[in-house]
Chain A
Amino acid sequence: MNCAFDKEKLTGYYDGELEAAEKAEVERHIASCSECLRELGELKSAAILVKELPRLRAPRSVAEGVAREMQAAGKVHSFARMRRTILWGSAAAAALFIGLNIMYFSAADRSPSAPAMARTPAPVTVVGKIQQAEELQNNAAPPKEAGAERRALADRAAAADEGKLRENRKQVPELKEQEKADVAKKVEAMPAERARDKAGDGLAKGAAEPTAPPKPTAAPPGAAAPAPAPAPVAKPAPEAAEKSATKKDAVESLTRAEADLKSKRGAAADPVVAAEAPPTHLTLASTQIAKARPQVEEALRKMGVALPPPAPPPAKMMKAPAARETETTIALDLTDAQIARLRQELDKPGSSRLLAAAPGDPVLAEFRDGRVFGRKEPSGVASGGGAQAGKSRELGKADPKPEAKAEAPKDARESKDLDAAPADKAPEARRRVILHLIEVPYVPDTQPAPDSLKK
């Protein structure tokens, strides 16, 4: 054991892990050193003993355990894979959806060139514009999307509306021109009248004052705007009127003509307002509603008006007071003369009273207290009010107001005029009258009535 040779090289020499130089060195050394040669032999013997140990076969449990573990892990892997797949699939679907939306909207904004042109205003008629839009629509490529078609239809409708509006706008200057022409005619007529006035001034001096041109009868309460009467200046004035016309009358006639033109223009601008006038509401408060309707029928029969069949009362027009048990509504189309005649017929002393008020009018509440024939009149009763004006007016003999008193003979005169009206007169305009028949309780008046009412 005195050899100082590196014994580890003997191990490397045995294992064949030495470089060629080291290997040669070892071979030279062991050739001369018996001690190292003997140790190399012992190392080789120990290695051979280990190398000759038998190889063992792994039991099946090893592979089975590994396989089970792999299966369990595979489930986890498959679950993770499935989850990953679902996530990626969802992301892809979302991306596809967004992409399709972007493509859809971008295509919808680009493709319809024809509607874009239709949107641009052009001074053409409606028909021409529609034809132009149709031509453009036919020439252009068919829209790929349904939204483009809808948009084209909407544009076409907008173009049609625009054309209608343009036509209306075109009518405005025509009306203005017509109005100017009428005014010019009147103005032209003015000097002629003045000249005639001057010429006939001396001739007609001392003659009777000419009657003023017939003023249009004042519209009864609640009536609509009167139908535009022909301007007096436009008609050929009679000779007597020409001679007696003054400047004042001319100015009045001109003003009236302008008012007529304004009303005409208003009717042209808003024909609905002129066509539908609000009806006149009359309420017949009666203590015996059963007798009221025959009374109305009799009055109308005298006037030659057939009573329409009874209709259910409109719910919107009534406030449905608790004291009222029955109520009947009759819709009639009457002339002013017939209305006056109806007032005369119905507002007779007895069990009923006719009021120019709608059932919802507050003045009727006092009559429903049983004071139909009492002397105490409701406060705030105003004349000339229609139902739409929110005012009411008691009609009849008991009306203490001077206006109503003044109207009563006027109505009587009108009715007489109506009876004596010649047949060749133009038929008078009718208006819508809603006659409400309400029943009110009878309460005898305990206080003595004043003398004026007794008379």
Chain B
Amino acid sequence: MSPGEPVAPELRELPDRELVVRCQRNESRAFDELVTRHQDRVYTAVTRFCGNAEDAADIVQRAFINAFRKIQEFKGDSAFSTWIYRIAFNQAISFRRENRRPGVSIYSKDDEKVVEPAVDANPTEKLEGEETQKKVQQALEMLEEGDRQIILLKDLQGHSYDEIASIMQIPKGTVRSRLHRARLELKSKLKSYIGTLK
């Protein structure tokens, strides 16, 4: 399948598990469907995690390629989304450790990448919203990788504790404690901003 070619319509209605099975039968169109379904969410999480859009694109691309290469090893014990998030975050952590460089903020470039405005308001509110997003992003980037990852998985992506435990490969009880600690840390970073919001 050539890049950009539309995915077959019948594949759009199949669940991830069926698509994975088809991928394991060397049906490449099924994996294209999986990429189409999950690339934006993974890209958003990785971009918030890395703080760099270009690195995030490379990381997400590598993550999907690795998933394609290892699709035969996927047993289906967890959801494909959980699996691809784990691959992507591990890829991102490795990438950041290998490339110690100052990150390029996602807000330093065009804003066309933003598909869902956080605040649908007037221009003044829009400016205030962008400022808030920058502050939140900066606060996230100041967190430890684990805290940042768990906040993004829970608050940005809306995963459950079980999914987070699966992605981060930690116990479910640990998820709540680490998430509580991460939120306290993020709250301390955004204390002044949170106070203004009040």
Contact = CB atoms under 8 A, between A and B. Distances in A.
A66 interface: yes
Nearest to A78: B26
Interface stretch (B10-18, B73-81, B92-100, B112-120): B112-120
B91 interface: no
B44 to A, nearest CB: 4
Interface of A is mostly: helix
A67 B43 contact: no
Given A43-B183, A70-B1, A54 B190 contact: no
Interface in A60-96: 60-71, 73-74, 77, 81
Contact of A63 (B3, B160, B177): B3
B90 interface: no
A54 B114 contact: yes
Contact of B137 (A8, A53, A81): A53
Contacts of A17: 160-161, 176
Contact of A49 (B31, B116, B194): B194
A270 interface: no
A53 B41 CA distance: 12
A400 interface: no
A150 interface: no
A350 interface: no
Interface in A177-196: none
A47 B36 CA distance: 28
A56 B133 contact: no
Interface size bracket, B side: 35 or more
Contacts, number: 150
A45 B155 CA distance: 11
A49 B136 contact: yes
Given A50-B152, A63-B39, A8 B177 contact: yes
Contact of B68 (A48, A49, A51, A73): A73
B134 to A, nearest CB: 10
A77 B26 contact: yes
B57 interface: yes
Contacts of A424: none
B102 interface: no
Contacts of A164: none
A184 B112 CA distance: 138
Interface in B11-68: 26, 28, 31-32, 35-36, 39-44, 47-48, 53, 57, 60-61, 64-65, 68
Interface residues of A, number: 40
Interface in A17-67: 17, 42-43, 45-67
A65 B137 CA distance: 27
Given A62-B64, A63-B4, A57 B161 contact: no
A7 interface: yes
B186 A67 contact: no
Nearest to B117: A54
Interface centre among B39, B61, B184, B194 (most CB of A within 10 A): B61
A10 interface: yes
A47 B4 CA distance: 36
A24 B136 CA distance: 32
B156 interface: yes
Nearest to A61: B57
Contact of B41 (A45, A52, A55, A68): A55
A58 B115 contact: no
B69 interface: yes
Contacts of B28: 70, 74
B3 A67 contact: yes
A15 interface: yes
Given A8-B177, A56-B115, A63-B39, A70 B60 contact: no
Contacts of B114: 54-56
Contacts of A48: 155
B183 A52 contact: no
Interface of B: 1-4, 26, 28, 31-32, 35-36, 39-44, 47-48, 53, 57, 60-61, 64-65, 68-69, 106, 113-119, 129, 132-133, 136-137, 140, 151-152, 154-156, 158, 160-161, 176-177, 179-180, 183-184, 186-187, 190, 193-194, 197-198
Closest 8 CB pairs of A and B: A58-B43, A64-B3, A11-B180, A50-B155, A67-B3, A54-B114, A58-B39, A65-B61
Given A17-B176, A51-B156, A66-B68, 9 more contacts: A7-B180, A17-B161, A49-B132, A49-B190, A56-B40, A56-B47, A57-B40, A65-B65, A77-B26
30 contacts: A7-B180, A8-B176, A12-B176, A15-B154, A15-B161, A17-B160, A17-B161, A17-B176, A42-B187, A46-B190, A49-B190, A50-B155, A50-B186, A53-B156, A55-B44, A56-B47, A57-B113, A57-B115, A58-B43, A58-B57, A58-B60, A62-B35, A63-B35, A64-B4, A65-B65, A66-B64, A68-B3, A69-B68, A70-B68, A74-B28
